[in-house]
């Protein structure tokens, strides 16, 4: 609150008065997608299904499950799965948000921007010449 004041009400027999306030509000910044997970090429994963399954069985068989802590067991299993997938399957790179915009379209947009700039320069120089001649 920056400023608060009351104003007199209407000329009636009432105890109500108008309250006016100046408020400074700031919105909270929302941060989305802080930790992005790696995306794997699932088509290649399905194509190599048997190979991935065999290597996972080998790695999981090598892990000793003597630990009573479930967190440690889950961490070991997760590491095995991620190692196997990262070895056999490649990550998918980020897709363009607008894949329909091609490089040719971008070059045309740049060309149009340059022509507009030249047109604006010609108009301003024409106006300057006419103003100086008056």
Q: What pLDDT, in 10s, does the model give residues 98-125?
A: 777 888 988 999 999 999 998 888 888 8
Average pLDDT over residues 20-25: 88
Average pLDDT estimate for 19-42: 79
The structure's pTM equals 0.42
What span, in angstroms and rounded, lies between the C-alpha atoms of 99 and 93? 13
Per-residue pLDDT, 82: 86
Contact 18, 9 (CB under 8 A): yes
Find, among 17, 24, 18, the residue nearest to 1 by Cα: 24
- The predicted-structure confidence for 54-86, as pLDDT tens digits, reads as follows 988 888 888 776 667 888 888 888 888 888 888
| Model confidence at 10: pLDDT above 70 | no
| Residue 15 to residue 12: CA distance in whole angstroms | 9
């Amino acid at each position: 609150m920056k400023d608060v004041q009351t104003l007199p009400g209407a000329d009636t027999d009432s105890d109500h008065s108008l309250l006016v306030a100046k408020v400074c509000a700031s919105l909270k910044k929302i941060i989305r997608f802080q930790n992005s997970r790696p995306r794997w090429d699932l088509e290649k994963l399905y194509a190599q299904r048997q190979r991935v399954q065999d290597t996972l069985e080998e790695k999981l068989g090598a892990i000793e499950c003597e630990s009573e802590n479930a967190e440690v067991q889950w961490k070991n299993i997760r590491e095995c799965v991620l190692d196997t997938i990262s070895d056999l399957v490649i990550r998918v790179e980020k897709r363009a948000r607008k894949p329909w915009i091609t490089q040719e379209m971008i070059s045309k947009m740049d060309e149009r921007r340059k022509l507009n700039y030249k047109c604006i320069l010609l108009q301003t120089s024409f106006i300057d010449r006419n103003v100086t001649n008056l």
